[in-house]
Copies of this chain bind each other. A is one copy, B any other.
Amino acid sequence: MSADTSNDGCEDTREAIMKATYRALRDNGTADLTIQNIADEFEKSKSLLYYHYETKDDLLIEFLSWLIDRNAEFLEGDDVETTEEFVSAMIPRDVDDERAGFRAAFVQMRAEAASDPAYREQFTQYDRLYRETLVGLIEQDVEAGRLREVDTDALADVLLSTIDGAMLRYATTDDDVMPTTREGADRLLASLRGEE
């Protein structure tokens, strides 16, 4: 019982449910994200989903946190210490399949936030976190002389929008927009470094 983040096999099962939800979302889209579809991706039964989560909404809310945490892990892998490294990590030149699927899932959850306050709250936090991270990196870069003086807020926002936009376009388009966008972002940063 109890709501603490305790140990044992229970957590394994919940993790498996999150992964199943991820696969179901990636392959079917939010429109067809039914409990049944999640169960189909899950080794155990549909009823078990209700043993671990009160309602579908409950499950999905937790899934959103899980997905956002998962996203943060991409950053932790590479150690990011400059603005440029941040951009590189978020707009990779070559996108592996795992991350492609991830982006598809992420974008679909995010769009829900346009009409669901609970989701919106989460993505607002998410957005602020990344924005502040970026502001911190830019300030460090300026101090260290790696970037010339800039309007930090404006640069952070434009970079974050570019990153999110690249993800959205990548996930909803047949064209490979990542490399060119990355190229453009690199050039932008280069020009702010004083290079011509």
Contact = CB atoms under 8 A, between A and B. Distances in A.
Given A28-B115, A115-B31, A161 B160 contact: no
Interface in A154-196: 154-169, 171-175, 177, 180-181, 183-185, 187-188, 191-192
B151 A187 contact: yes
Contacts of A110: 111, 168, 172
A99 to B, nearest CB: 13
B180 A154 contact: yes
B108 A104 contact: no
A30 interface: yes
Contacts of A156: 180, 184
B108 A114 contact: yes
Interface residues of A, number: 60
B187 A188 contact: no
Nearest to A177: B157
B172 A114 contact: yes
Interface stretch (A6-14, A76-84, A121-129): A121-129
B172 A158 contact: no
A157 to B, nearest CB: 4
A113 B157 contact: no
A169 B127 CA distance: 8
Contacts of A158: 162, 180-181, 183-185, 188
Nearest to A183: B154
A112 interface: yes
Given A158-B188, A191-B191, 11 more contacts: A108-B112, A108-B115, A111-B171, A120-B174, A123-B172, A123-B173, A151-B187, A153-B180, A153-B183, A160-B165, A161-B163
